[in-house]
Structure 1
Amino acid sequence: MLVSLAMLLPLGVSVAGPVGTANAAFDPNFGYDFWVESDMGGIKSRIFRAADGNRNRVVYALDGMRARNDLNGWEIETNVARALTAANINVVMPVGGESSFYADWNAPSTWGPGDLGSSTGSSNGSSGLGSSDAAADVDGKANTYRWETFLTQQLPRALAEREGFRSTRNGVFGLSMGGSAALTLAAYYPRQFSFAGSYSGFLNNSAPGMREALRVAMVSAGGFNIDAMAPPWGPQWLRMDPFVFAPMLKANNTRLWIASGSGLPGPGDVSDALGVVQAVPLEALALANTRAFEVRMGTIGAGNAHYDYPATGVHNWKNWEDQVNRMIPDLSRNIG
């Protein structure tokens, strides 16, 4: 499987990024920009208000590995914001963070001359709030990624102060890269996040071959150096592995929604042969990771997760949107 992925990635496919495109959903009159200063500079999020006007029920929607600097993929490719707001849930969509895993990195992702395995440099500079160039300036190369700090300190504080949003018992969900990040945030910040969802997530990052698979993926998705994120197999790397920190999720009693497709294309999953070739192995790898996480949770007696494995489904937005729609009632019961 990893050999197949290594062959696919140079074609422009990311191990933790979306394949396939849903109908564009962006509506400038629906959500609004919310800029917050961070250790990385000015970061934009998109906010969508709950239909009933409440400020207590909040969910964060995390993007995949190929996150763009203009809009979050959930807004570009799906209509989940409308479904969530109709369920009286406020939606926060952070923008940017390509290949970041929404983590605090060790250093900017710069490469040593002729050495793709080195990482040098230090954080420098920031962009002003609201600057049109701000997202490009906080891409983890000019600055050191500090996404965990942003999502757990700077953003919730600004949302509380300026929007009146509750900063405890929030939800968080994500696809692929964002799925593993959602579980990481819930594990280490249980007061902030009482619910976490992972769709097609990579939840066993310390399995044999996974780090090198992710290394190739991150080079493909923006040219990022995984060694700048965390050294191999050290405490910082293990801290990011849901398989490793599963006991914390059990102890926190965090409500989890864990899902992955079967890797078999269903109706409308992909529109061409190349799409099948790309999306099937990616989802198969996510499925293997997700099943391993389920077994791990079972061995420690954790009963706080719902697992969802549709009979068909590959690595694309259609299936991730379907998961959100299925998840909404469970999310609604476990936040606020």
Structure 2
Amino acid sequence: MTPRRRARRSARVGQTVFVTVLLALTLTQLGAGTAAARDREGAATVTGLTQVDGALWEMTVDSPTMGSVPFQVIRPNGAPAGAPTLYLLNGAGGGEDGANWLAQTDAQQFFADKFVNVVIPARGLGSYYTDWIAADPRMGQPMWATFLTDELPAAVDHALAGNGRNAIAGLSMSATSVLDLATIAPGLYRSVAAYSGCARTSTPEGEAAVRGIVYAAAGGDADNMWGPSGSPLWRQHDPYLNAEKLRGTRLYLSSGSGTPGRYDTPSAQAPGAPPIANQILVGGALEAATRACTEAMAKRLRQLSIPAQVHLPSAGTHSWGYWEDELHRSWPTLAAGLDD
């Protein structure tokens, strides 16, 4: 390796470590996750479905692998039968804190007139919505991939009279997860949207970022998730390496540049947002990192001749105002898959 290439590699690794440390500082107030694998047998069942306010419902699903899992659901007016389902995943907080789709965006209002059931897990802190290979002292042993792909869709379709068509979208941590889930279960999701995420999990930089998020969000050890460094699971869960499995899925990818934009002022921040200096400095660094990941994934899809809608605006930090915009912007792509 030439000195120049070594310098570039060192810079990339240094940037990843810097971003991971910044992320840890922003997430230190988050508690530990509580999901745990169970030994019971049987199918997942919706055990509670209650209308809260207009289109907003609360749902509880009893899962053989995950126990009792709470959800927030946005249903079409009148809760008619025959609607498709959009699974909308939260970020590193897993919806367990105030940083979630309903508290930070207009998702409830936006979907109120759409013919779709929007199903939002209210758990998932630092879990990457994946199956963990071992019990973790802080996380338990989440089995999200099995739950989301094998158990949940049939239970949701039965309870909500869904039509069997699914889409999935996520941001930040879960933007990696939605692409991973789509490669694990090809064809389950007709469309996928990933906002401000990183599809690389098996490179040194990508693995460092994943480990940092798992630890910062919930104190978890990613060895219990996908094994030690060098384990084949890190490659198996790398959407970049497994991009061919996304063929035939309608895709939407987006990331800002990290440069401050329209939502990076005190008056434009989402409710409960961090101090504006954190949003600009920390959120800017995080978004610059996800921008590089998103550009790499978009290039990989082009190399494979897999169509994707890609939005790479010239500004924007890692914050909710931009994700609300991307949810709106991606809806035609998500809806097109649900209508196919």
Scaled to the shorter chain, the TM-score interval is 0.7 to 0.9
Render the CA deviation track for 1:46-87: whole Å, top value 9, x for unaligned: 111123735332100011012233788111211123212322
Amino acid in structure 2 at the alignment position of 1:260: S
Render the CA deviation track for 1:135-182: whole Å, top value 9, x for unaligned: xxxxx73x3101111111222121122221133x31100001111111
Matched, 1:3 2:17: yes
Who is 1:323 aligned against?
A: 326
Equivalent residue in structure 2 for 1:244, among 241, 249, 259: 241
Who is 1:19 aligned against?
A: none
Who is 2:269 aligned against?
A: none
- C-alpha distance in structure 2 between counterparts of 1:160 and 1:7, whole Å: 41
5+ residue gaps, structure 1: 15-26, 111-139
Aligned pair count? Answer: 290
Does the residue aligned with 1:92 lie in a helix, a strand or coil?
Answer: strand
Amino acid in structure 2 at the alignment position of 1:255: R
TM-score by length of 2: 0.80
Q: Which has the higher contact order (CA 8 A, sep 6+)?
A: 1
Residues 55 and 90 in structure 1, CA contact (< 8 A), matched pair in contact too:
no
Query: Over aligned residue pairs, what C-alpha RMSD do you find?
Result: 2.1
Shift of the 279–158 alpha-carbon distance from structure 1 to 2, 3 Å rule, reads same
Residues 93 and 99 in structure 2, CA contact (< 8 A), matched pair in contact too:
no
Amino acid in structure 2 at the alignment position of 1:312: A
- C-alpha distance in structure 1 between counterparts of 2:329 and 2:208, whole Å: 33
Does the residue aligned with 2:53 lie in a helix, a strand or coil?
Answer: coil
What aligned pairs does 1:151-300 form with structure 2 within 5 A after superposition? 151-167=148-164, 169-231=165-227, 232-250=229-247, 253-271=248-266, 272-300=276-304
Who is 1:12 aligned against?
A: 26
Amino acid in structure 2 at the alignment position of 1:179: A
Residues 172 and 196 in structure 1, CA contact (< 8 A), matched pair in contact too:
yes
Who is 2:60 aligned against?
A: 35
Does the residue aligned with 2:132 lie in a helix, a strand or coil?
Answer: coil
Who is 1:115 aligned against?
A: none
Matched, 1:149 2:146: yes
Who is 2:101 aligned against?
A: 74
Amino acid in structure 2 at the alignment position of 1:29: D
Amino acid in structure 2 at the alignment position of 1:259: S
- C-alpha distance in structure 1 between counterparts of 2:114 and 2:210, whole Å: 35
Residues 170 and 192 in structure 1, CA contact (< 8 A), matched pair in contact too:
yes
Give me the identity figure in percent.
31
Who is 1:301 aligned against?
A: 305
Amino acid in structure 1 at the alignment position of 2:253: I
Residues 191 and 338 in structure 2, CA contact (< 8 A), matched pair in contact too:
yes
Equivalent residue in structure 2 for 1:50, among 76, 82, 92: 76
TM-score by length of 1: 0.81
Who is 2:126 aligned against?
A: 99
Cα distance, 1:98 vs. partner? 0.7
Cα distance, 1:10 vs. partner? 4.1
- C-alpha distance in structure 2 between counterparts of 1:107 and 1:264, whole Å: 39
Residues 76 and 114 in structure 2, CA contact (< 8 A), matched pair in contact too:
yes
5+ residue gaps, structure 2: 1-14, 29-50, 267-275
Cα distance, 1:6 vs. partner? 4.0
- C-alpha distance in structure 2 between counterparts of 1:160 and 1:3, whole Å: 42
Residues 71 and 96 in structure 1, CA contact (< 8 A), matched pair in contact too:
no
- C-alpha distance in structure 2 between counterparts of 1:331 and 1:216, whole Å: 30
- C-alpha distance in structure 2 between counterparts of 1:28 and 1:77, whole Å: 18
